[in-house]
Structure 1
Amino acid sequence: MTTALIYGEFAAREAAGESPAYQNLAVAVSRDAHLIGLLDTLPPAKRQPNLLFAAGRFLGAPVTDPPAFLEFAAANWERVAHEIRHRATQTNEPARCAVLLPLLAALPQPLALLEVGASAGLNLFPDRYAYRYGDHVLGDGDPLLDCALTGTDPPQKLPEVVWRAGLDLNPLDVTDPADAAWLQALIWPEQDDRRERQRAAARTVAADPPLMVRGDLVDDLPALAAKAPADATLVVFHTSVLYQVPADRRRAFTDLVRTMRAHWISVENPTVLDHAGLPNPPDERLHNVLALDGRPLAWARPHGEALNWFGDRP
C-alpha cells in the first residue's frame, strides 16, 4: 500500500467519526505529493499518520488547519523527521484496560502482569481503575473507563494483581515533562476526555511505579518473565504493538510466547496476527482482535470504547 493510500485509509476507517481534524488532515496529506515524497524517505514503519501528526503537535504545528500544517511540515521537515525517527506511537490508552478486563478477571488469581510495548505502563493497572459497561459499574478508581460491551456479560470483579512489569524499547516516564508532553501529543485534538483520562491514569502510575525495563520483545522477554512470582498467574499482553514490529521479529515473538508458562492476551489489528475464521467486524470502522493464547474472542475498538464478543465466554 502506498503512503498516500495509507493516509486515505486512515481518514476513512480510523479518523472518520472520531476526529474530524485528523480526518481532514489525513486527506490533505494523502493529496500532497511533496509531503508524501518526504514521508517516503523514512522507513515504512515511520510513515504512519499518528506518528506524523503527533510529532507535529509536539512541535506546535497547527493540526486543525490542513494547509497550515502542510506548510509547517515542509518548512520544518528536519525537525519533524527527527521526532518521527526518535519516537514511536506509544499512545498508552488506559481505556484499553476495559477490553482486557473480561479476560483478566476470569483467569486464576492472583495475576502477574507483563506488558510488551508498555510505553509508560498505564495499562498495567487494570485493578486500580473504574469501569462502566452500559449500566454496570465496577470499581471506584480514577479514571472511569466506559466500554460498550456486547455478546457476553460484563465482569463482576476486578483482578488481583500482585506483580506488574513493562517491556519497551523506549519506556516512558510519566513524571518526566518531555515524556508526559509526548503522551499528550499522541491524543487526537478533539478528545479532551482521553487527555484527562490519561492524566488520571498517569497519577496512579506515578504513585506506585511498576517495574519498567528497556528491552526487546524477544531477546529480553524470558529474563523479565522469570522475575514474576511463581505463585501468580503470569499474563503476557500487548495492545496495538505488533504492527510496529518487523514480520520476522513478530513471528519470533509469537513463537516464543506460545512456549512460555503464561497466558497470552493480544489486542491487535487483524492483519497483524493470522487468526483463521474470523467473523465480519461489527461495522466498517477499524477493529482490533482480542485473543487469549492465540484464540480470537472479540472485536475491540482501538481506544477501548467498544468490545463485541463472538467467541467462547470468559
Structure 2
Amino acid sequence: MTTIEAYVEFGTREAHGVSPTYERLSHAVAHDGDLLALLDTLPPGKRQPNLLFGVVRWLGGPVDDPVAFHDYTVAHWPAVEAQVLARATQTNEAGRCAVLLPVLAALPQPLALLEVGASAGLCLYPDRYAYRYGEYEVGDGTPVLECAAGGLVPPARVPQVVWRAGLDLNPLDVTDAGDVSWLEALIWPEHAHRRARLRAAAAVAAADPPLLVRGDLVDDLPALAARAPADATLVVFHTSVLYQVPVARREAFVRLVRELPGHWIANEAPEVLPYDGLPDPPDAALHNVLALDGKPLAWTRGHGQAMTWFG
C-alpha cells in the first residue's frame, strides 16, 4: 500500500464517522506533496497516520487545521522525524476489553493472562472494569466500558484473573507521566471519553502494576508463558498489534502460539491475520476479527465500541 493509499484508507475507513478532525487531516495529507515526500523518507512501518498525528500532538503541534498542520510539520520535521522513529502506536485502549470479555468469561477459570504488545498493560485488567452492552451491565469496577454488541448474549460475570503479564518491545509505565502523556496523545482529538477512560484504567493498573517484560513476541514468549501458574488457564492474547510485525515474523508467532498450552485470542484486521470463509462485515468501516484458537467469532471495531458476533 502506498503512503497516499494508507492515508486515504485511514480517513475513509477508520476516522470517518469517528473523528472528523483525523478524517479531514488524513485526506489533506494524502494530497500534500510536501508531507508525502517527507513521509516517504521514513521506513514503511513509520509512515502511518496514527503515529504521525500522535507525534505532532505530543510535540504541541496543531491537528485541527490541515494548513497549520502542514506548516508545523514541515517547519519542525527534524523533531517530528526523531519522535516518529523513536515511538510506536502503542494505543492502550482499555475499551477493547469489552470485545474480549465474552471469550474470556467462557474459558475455564481462573485465568492467567499474557498480552502480546501490551503497551502499558491496561487490557490486562478485564476483571477490574465494568461493562455496558446496550441495557445489559456486568461488573462493578471503573471505568465502565460501553460496547454495542449484536448476535450474542453478554457474559453474566467478569473472569477470574490470578496472573497477568505483558510482553512488549517498549513497555510503558502508567506511573510515568511522560509515558501517560504519549498514550493521551494517541487518543483522537474529539474523544474526551477515551481520555477519561485512559486515566481511570491507568489508575487501576497503577494500584496493582502488571508484570511487563521488554521482549520479542517470538523469542521471549515461551519463557514468559512458562511463568504462568500451572493451575490457571493460560490465555495469550493481542489486539491491533500484528500489523506492526513483519509478515515472516508474524507467521512465526502464529506457529509458536498454537503450540503453547492454554488458549490464544486474536483481535486483528482480516488482512493482517486472514481467515477463510468470513461473513461480510456489518458495514464499510474498518473492523478487526475476534478469534479463539484460530476460529473467527466476531467482527469488532478498533476501540472496542462495537462487535457483531457470528461464531
Q: Does 1:275 align with 2:287?
A: no
- The equivalent of 1:83 in structure 2 is 83
- Paired residue type of 1:56: V
2: CA distance, partners of 1:301 / 1:282: 10
- The equivalent of 1:133 in structure 2 is 133
Q: Does 1:113 align with 2:90?
A: no
CA shift, 1:140, in A, is 1.1
Within a 5 Å distance, the mapping from 1:1-314 to structure 2 comes to 1-311=1-311
Per-residue deviation, residues 60-97 of structure 1 (Å, max 9, x unmatched): 11100110001111111111011111110000100000
- Aligned-pair identity in percent equals 68
CA shift, 1:142, in A, is 0.6
1: CA distance, partners of 2:262 / 2:248: 22
2: CA distance, partners of 1:133 / 1:31: 40
2: CA distance, partners of 1:136 / 1:274: 32
- Paired residue type of 1:192: A
- Paired residue type of 1:193: H
Structure 2 regions of 5+ residues with no counterpart? none
1: CA distance, partners of 2:42 / 2:150: 40
2: CA distance, partners of 1:79 / 1:28: 21
Structure 1 regions of 5+ residues with no counterpart? none
2: CA distance, partners of 1:37 / 1:268: 30
- Paired residue type of 2:85: R
- Paired residue type of 2:54: A
Count of residue pairs the alignment pairs up: 311
2: CA distance, partners of 1:41 / 1:204: 40
Q: Secondary structure at the match of 2:304?
A: coil
Consecutive aligned runs of 4 or more in structure 1 exceeding 3 Å deviation: none
2: CA distance, partners of 1:280 / 1:79: 42
What's the C-alpha RMSD, in Å, of the aligned pairs? 0.5
- Paired residue type of 1:186: L
1: CA distance, partners of 2:5 / 2:158: 42
Per-residue deviation, residues 119-150 of structure 1 (Å, max 9, x unmatched): 00000000000000111111111100000111
Q: Secondary structure at the match of 1:41?
A: coil
CA shift, 1:188, in A, is 0.2
1: CA distance, partners of 2:152 / 2:27: 37
Q: Secondary structure at the match of 1:290?
A: strand
**TM score, norm. by length of structure 2:** 0.99
Per-residue deviation, residues 264-308 of structure 1 (Å, max 9, x unmatched): 000000000120110000000010000000110000000000010
